[in-house]
Amino acid sequence: MPLEGKSVVLREQRREDLPFLQSLQNDMEVQAWSKALPPDYTDVMYAKRYDAREFSYDPEEARFVIVHKETGELIGHISYSDLERRFSAHLGIMTARKFWGTGAAFDAQETMLRFLFCEVGVRVVRLFTHSGIPRAVRLAERAGFQVSAQIRQANIKYGQLNDTLVMDILREEYFARHPELTDALPPLF
């Protein structure tokens, strides 16, 4: 079932999305975390990854394509992983350059956070980024994420050392930012 934001829809990945997703993965500015420099994700690699997925409900991870509500245009990819039921999840997002600065990534991120906190019931959502991607840091901060750990000089991008940043938002922080929503879970203690 798709998740609806104000201007975007988060829906399941489809085979016809693979060329778009591959182009995101192979763009160093968009992906920014490649283990191979430069990234070289091929059609065969992406198809194999897609075909290997079991399309049954997997509570530990989910991958969505971000679609513009009005135009149907593909905007990017968002996912959660490493879900520990009722405790934590990791968030990941990539958007095509064309949509940078349009608010689409923020809407997608807010839609996923609402799902994770209100429907899944996690206590904390974490993400990993690095200091060489200031727009990603600003996007996370805009949603209430804070730097919880900094690993100095942990990666290289374009010949420059960058710090890996672990950012997170706690359940109470999320609901404080969204007074229009009700936290239906009782406190742990």
| Cα distance between residue 107 and residue 137, in whole Å | 15
Residue type, 106: F
pLDDT at 111 over 90: yes
**Banded pLDDT at 38 (limits 50, 70, 90):** low
Judge if pTM exceeds 0.85. yes
Pairwise pLDDT comparison (37 vs 182), residue with the higher score = 182
Q: Is residue 189 part of a domain?
A: no
SS3 25: helix
Q: Is residue 187 in a domain?
A: no
The rounded percent of the chain whose pLDDT value lies above 70 is 92
Question: Residue 25's pLDDT is what?
Answer: 85
Residue 183 lies in a domain: no
pLDDT band at 36 (very low <50, low <70, confident <90, very high): low
What does the alpha-carbon distance between residue 104 and residue 107 come to, in Å, rounded to a whole number?
5
Buried b (16+ CB within 10 A) or exposed e, 5-15: bebbbbeebee
182 in a structural domain: no
Q: Is 155 part of a structural domain of the chain?
A: yes
Q: What is the pLDDT of residues 42-76, one digit of tens each?
A: 888 878 877 777 655 567 888 999 999 999 999 99
Please check whether residue 163 lies inside any domain of the structure: yes
> What is the average pLDDT value for the chain, to the nearest integer?
89
CATH number of the domain bearing residue 85: 3.40.630.30
Q: What does the block give as tokens for 50?
A: 């897609």
- Position 42 in a domain: yes
What gap in Å lies between CA 133 and CA 108, rounded to an integer?
Answer: 18
Is 97 a member of any domain?
yes
How far apart are the C-alpha atoms of 21 and 49, rounded to whole Å? 12
* The total number of structural domains that make up the chain: 1
Cβ–Cβ under 8 Å, residues 137 and 154: no
Burial (Cβ within 10 Å: 0-12, 13-18, ≥19) of residue 49: middle
Transcribe 34-81 into DSSP letters.
-SSSS----HHHHHHHHHHS--S--TT-EEEEEEETTT--EEEEEEEE
Q: Residue 56 is part of which domain span?
A: 3-177
How does pLDDT run across 133-171, given as a tens digit for each residue? 899 999 999 999 999 999 999 888 777 889 999 999 999
C-beta atoms surrounding 51 within 10 Å: 8
